[in-house]
Structure formats: C-alpha cells, structure tokens
C-alpha cells in the first residue's frame, strides 16, 4: 500500500533509487539522491525555486504578525497552497498569469522572483485595466500565422 498511499515526493525518490542498481549499492544510491536534493541544481528548478520563495514569504509574514486571527487567516489563505503549486508549476512558462488578490500581493513582493526571473506578467482584479491593455496588445500583435494556428486549434 505504500506505493498507493505515499506522497508524490516518495514516488520520485523511489524512482530515482531504481537507477544504477547494477553498479551502486542501495546506500550509495540514497546518498546520491540526497546529494541531488541538496544541490544548487535542484534549488534552481523553477517550480522548487518559486514555491520556496512563496512559502518563505508566507513564513516571514506570519512572523511579522500578518495572520494573527486564525479564522481570518483561514479565509484569506484558503486556496494558497493550491495557488502556490499552480503558479510555481506554470508561471515560469507563461507570458502572463491572472491570479486572486492574495497571490497577486505575494507575487508583487520583490522577494518573489517570478517576473524578474522569468518575465511573467502578473494580473489580478487589482490591475484590471493593465490586464485589458495587455490582452489588447496581444490581440493587436497577432500575426497571420497565429490566426491560422488558432483556427486550426479552435475552428
């Protein structure tokens, strides 16, 4: 049942441990996997980097007393963990994201490098006018090749 009940992280580690079984002992394979997760290579994986920045910012804000009322904090941060996962997974590969006001506030903090590192523009209800301007600029810069491709995908 461990295969079915374990978190996804466990499955990743298990898969990595199956590599080089003919040349490395189990302890050596485990040490190599641990070394990778502690390396700068893993720290720079975009989804890991962004999620770490967002969770570090949340921790800092909690320490500063931003979320002292548990009921208000639960209401305000209800979807935060799902939002972090989505933004960290897709944000580096998008030109723009539209997010809720809580995530917008987090992503606009200079300690979170989504826009600086990846050039991803961030929009929310807060900057609706900028979002509409962005959409107009995308539409006005569409090439005939793009129009043909869109017609193929969405006839």
Which pLDDT tens digit goes with each residue over 56-104? Answer: 999 999 999 999 999 999 999 999 999 999 999 999 999 999 999 999 9
* Residue 106 and residue 126 share a domain: yes
Q: Is 144 in the same domain as 71?
A: yes
Question: Is residue 92 situated within a structural domain?
Answer: yes
| Same domain as 54, residue 33 | no
Which comes out higher in pLDDT, residue 96 or 142? 96
Q: Domain check: are 97 and 22 in the same one?
A: no
Give yes or no: residues 52 and 33 share one domain. Answer: no
CA distances from 38 to 8, 21, 77 (A): 18, 22, 29
Q: pLDDT tens across 111-135, in order?
A: 998 999 999 999 999 999 999 999 9
Residues 78 and 33 in one domain: no
Same domain flag for 71 and 27: no
Domains contained in the chain, number: 2
Q: What residues have CB less than 8 Å from 37, skipping those under 6 apart?
A: none
pTM value is 0.73
Calpha distance 128→124 (Å, rounded) = 6
* Per-residue DSSP letter, 148: H
Q: Are residues 57 and 14 in the same domain?
A: no
In a shared domain, residues 32 and 50: no
Cβ distance 154 to 128 under 8 Å? Answer: no
Question: Could you report the per-residue pLDDT of 5-49, keeping only the tens digit for each?
Answer: 556 567 778 888 888 888 888 889 888 888 888 887 777 788 989
Secondary structure of residue 22 in the 3-state scheme? coil
Whether the Cβ atoms of residue 76 and residue 35 lie closer than 8 Å to each other: no
Q: Read off the tokens for 107.
A: 């992503």
Residue 30 shares a structural domain with residue 55: no
Task: State how far the Cα of 74 lies from the Cα of 67, in Å rounded to an integer.
Answer: 9
| 13 and 57 co-located in one domain | no
Q: Which residues constitute the domain of residue 10?
A: 2-38
Q: Is 155 inside a domain boundary? A: no
Looking at the structure, tell me whether residues 129 and 96 fall in a common domain: yes
The length of the chain is: 155
């Amino acid at each position: 049942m461990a295969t079915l009940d374990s978190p996804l992280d466990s499955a990743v580690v298990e898969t990595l441990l199956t590599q080089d079984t003919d040349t490395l002992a189990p302890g050596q394979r485990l040490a190599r996997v641990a070394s990778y997760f502690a390396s700068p290579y893993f720290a720079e994986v975009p989804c890991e980097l962004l999620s770490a920045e967002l969770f570090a910012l949340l921790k800092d804000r909690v320490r500063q007393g931003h979320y002292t009322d548990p009921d208000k904090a639960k209401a305000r941060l209800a979807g935060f963990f799902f939002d972090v996962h989505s933004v960290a997974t897709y944000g580096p590969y998008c030109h723009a994201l539209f997010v809720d006001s809580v995530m917008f506030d987090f992503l606009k903090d200079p300690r979170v490098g989504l826009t600086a590192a990846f050039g991803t523009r961030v929009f929310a209800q807060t900057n609706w006018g900028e979002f509409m301007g962005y959409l107009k600029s995308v539409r006005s810069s569409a090439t005939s090749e793009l129009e043909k491709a869109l017609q193929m995908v969405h006839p």
